[in-house]
Structure 1
């Protein structure tokens, strides 16, 4: 039984050219198909598909079809790899154990092959198929692992370095690198004690409206650094009614006692405010501040994580950051004090504030009669 012959695009184009020559000699389609040894259906199909093409054009068309199929396959593989990478937990898979777990997860969840999963995760297939020593009954380090788990349970606040010296003292022949590796494989770690953030206690139930000067002062801090990398801390004290910036404390670090001294210095000329609005920073939520404010002013702490409740300070800090700190480079603390002090002087006496009827804060404060 004769098998069906498949023609290449070049052969089809050549046979169509022969058919055109025979038909020009006066032969009909049936005679042409008989001479070409094809059916009329094949002839008409070829004519619709390859009519008007030359042999080189047909070959180029075939190559383009193959290239298009290859690109589609590569695009599908790339999309599948992208979906697989999203399925894996974020972060780098640095250890063979994590890669092994990622490969098993992809095979189980996405139904991909082991070859594909290993390629995506960067895992060698030999490593994937070889079980780790800890998972085999003949684990040479099984005894040391048991000893490590018991030692970590007895000493929960000690790390692998003390464990290494104790293991050597008890006769285990192991170096510190291997013991650290076993420590990590067993998931032993010292739990980190998080420092509890202190929250200040307000002494005023309701903050009165800032309808006159010195009714409410707002306190906050801004940070920058000098060219040697050392920090610069700026205390911001704003009168919420007049929008004046009070004080000019610029130091490497500012403690609660430093802030109290600055507030006392300002109060010598202006008096103490009715309420001091502040965040829950350690300088403000300390015992020294609470003791100082007990007989002088009321403290109003904003809720933690809600800086918009102290909007006057945040607005001022954005201005000093944009107009002063971002355009100046400080090479010393003394220079930072001079530049920031000059900017605050310009802010208070010459910078017009839209909420004050386009008057400077100091000019508005001098003309303010409701005290």
Structure 2
């Protein structure tokens, strides 16, 4: 009976197998199951390493090594996970202009793959233009060959921070942390539709009403307007003939 359960559930150890035996009516303690388990040479097989693309990031793509110098220079994006009241998992993808801190785009869905990332970027590019650089971690959606190739076709340079180094992508990490702290930890989400509405409202609030400590307490939208006004009034220097 122990082997039957082990064959049906190869990732189970002897403790779970014991629980399965007990559920089937076997009156046997866990220590005896452990002895029999070892005597039979049973063991949980090692996890198979993924055969996907290796991490592409490096320290030279950290925010302090590659800082945003102007509006539209560097964008960053990353995912968040959230659950509804019934435990349904949702994914949130946010995109931030690092210089102005404006959230230029977001998406909320049950699943967002590389094709979904591209779809959101197409919409945001049409509305805000294209950045020179877009920074991400090494999530499989961000390093998909199809997405990287498309970004290069658009004239956008995709860069990835070093593996397991979220601090190197600090602007989007801070944005996501603010969203979680100020919205997601305070609201009970009942559906995907409600999540989309509430997150959309919060993003508008963040861009246009919420003072940002990194922008001398201006809102991201107000700072973006200030940058546009400065660019419009700054004379263009003439190059010598």
Q: State the TM bucket, normalised to the shorter chain.
A: 0.7 to 0.9
Secondary structure (helix, strand or coil) at the match of 1:210 reads: coil
- TM-aligned CA distance change 1:211 to 1:179, over 3 Å: closer
1:201 aligns with 2:56: yes
Please tell me whether the aligned partners of residues 57 and 138 of structure 2 are also in contact (alpha carbons under 8 angstroms): no
1:249 aligns with 2:116: no
Please tell me whether the aligned partners of residues 160 and 180 of structure 1 are also in contact (alpha carbons under 8 angstroms): no
In structure 1, the partner of 2:170 is: 311
Q: How many Å separate the matches in 2 of 1:208 and 1:190? A: 45
Q: How many Å separate the matches in 1 of 2:178 and 2:92? A: 13
In structure 1, the partner of 2:193 is: 334
In structure 2, the partner of 1:191 is: 45
Q: Note the alpha carbon deviations across 1:163-217, whole angstroms, 9 max, x for none.
A: xxxxxxxxxxxxxx999964432443252233337434369x7664311111000
TM-score, length basis structure 1: 0.49
1:299 aligns with 2:158: yes
Q: How many residues align?
A: 201
Larger Rg: 1
Please tell me whether the aligned partners of residues 212 and 370 of structure 1 are also in contact (alpha carbons under 8 angstroms): no
1:114-125 → structure 2 map (5 Å cutoff): none
1:127-142 → structure 2 map (5 Å cutoff): none
Root mean square deviation of aligned Cα: 2.9
In structure 1, the partner of 2:12 is: none
1:320 aligns with 2:179: yes
Q: How many Å separate the matches in 1 of 2:81 and 2:6? A: 38
TM-score, length basis structure 2: 0.74
In structure 1, the partner of 2:135 is: 277
Please tell me whether the aligned partners of residues 223 and 232 of structure 1 are also in contact (alpha carbons under 8 angstroms): yes
Please tell me whether the aligned partners of residues 202 and 298 of structure 1 are also in contact (alpha carbons under 8 angstroms): no
1:215 aligns with 2:73: yes
**As a proportion of its length, which structure holds more helix?**
1
Q: How many Å separate the matches in 2 of 1:274 and 1:191? A: 46
Q: Which has the higher contact order (CA 8 A, sep 6+)?
A: 2
In structure 2, the partner of 1:347 is: 206
**Structure 2 unaligned spans of 5+:** 9-25, 27-31, 233-241
